[in-house]
Amino acid sequence: MSFETASHPYQFKAIIFDLDGTLLDTLNDIAEAMNLVLRDNGFPPHPIDMYKNFIGKGLEKLIEQALPLKAVTPLPMPTYLQAFRAAYAKNWHTNTRPYPGIPDLLTHLSQQDVSMAILSNKAHEFTVQMATALLDRWQFQQIRGAGSEFPKKPNPKAAWHIINHMNLRREQCLLVGDSGIDMQTATAAGIFPVGVTWGFRPESELLDNGCRFLARHPLDILKLFKFEFSPA
């Protein structure tokens, strides 16, 4: 079975997008903020590419994985959280941009009246701030980051809330992401899982966790819809 030409029995009407590694390339700014926290506390920084393995499970996990395994940390986790938030608030917009092809994808979906939403394990305030600043040309039905209202992905409750808000059935929705957690979320929620290869995780992780369609370019996602599309 070719994932690029995977058949499906439903007419999709909505997409729930992950943010980091899917819509926005946030790697450098996250790495720089966390490395600053590490240096300030006497710990060695990590190469930027190492952060591809740290991102996706929420801020607490990012910090836990970035800290040295056997470090005797003099500060409690809330202090590291506060330090990262302060550093990231200053630099998140330095290098972060939509991936090439994402603006074209979002524009075409909007023109075809496909409902769109964002669901991220990034802290809610950063998720909203970044979407508002960098993706304000397009309308999203909901923008949800990690907070107290719903558990983080792969728990499906936030995805179900978004689907109910859009007044759609689960089988009418795609969940698009770059990690195994996103694929697990889609499967748990009963949503069609779409993996993207331009993000932070390898194809094997996506396929091993339930990916049913693999997009190697943002416009590949349009193949899952009934409308006609001719690239410019």
Burial (CB count within 10 angstroms: exposed 0-12, middle 13-18, buried 19+), residue 2: exposed
Helix axes of 59-66 and 27-40: crossing angle, nearest 10 degrees: 50
Q: Are 80 and 108 in contact (CB under 8 A)?
A: no
* DSSP per position, 74-114: SS-HHHHHHHHHHHHHHHTTTT-EEPTTHHHHHHHHHHTT-
Q: Give the H or E element holding residue 45.
A: none
Q: What is the pLDDT of residue 10?
A: 59
pLDDT tens digits, residue range 36-93?
999 998 899 999 999 999 999 999 999 989 988 766 566 778 888 999 999 999 999 9
Name the least confident of 16-20, 73-77, 227-231.
227-231
In sequence order, which residues have a C-beta less than 8 Å from that of residue 204 and are 6 or more positions away?
none
Q: Rounded to whole angstroms, how far apart are CA atoms 57 and 152? A: 8
Q: What is the pLDDT of residue 1?
A: 29
pLDDT tens digits, residue range 186-207?
999 999 999 999 999 999 999 9
Q: Rounded to whole angstroms, how far apart are CA atoms 218 and 51? A: 23
Domains within the chain, CATH numbers bracketed: 8-25+98-224 (3.40.50.1000), 27-91 (1.10.150)
Give alpha helix (H) positions in 95-201: 102-111, 124-134, 157-165, 180-189
Q: Rounded to whole angstroms, how far apart are CA atoms 121 and 53? A: 14
The answer, as to whether pTM is greater than 0.85, is: yes
For residues 151-173, average pLDDT = 96
Q: Name the amino acid, one letter, at 208.
A: D
Helix axes of 77-91 and 59-66: crossing angle, nearest 10 degrees: 100
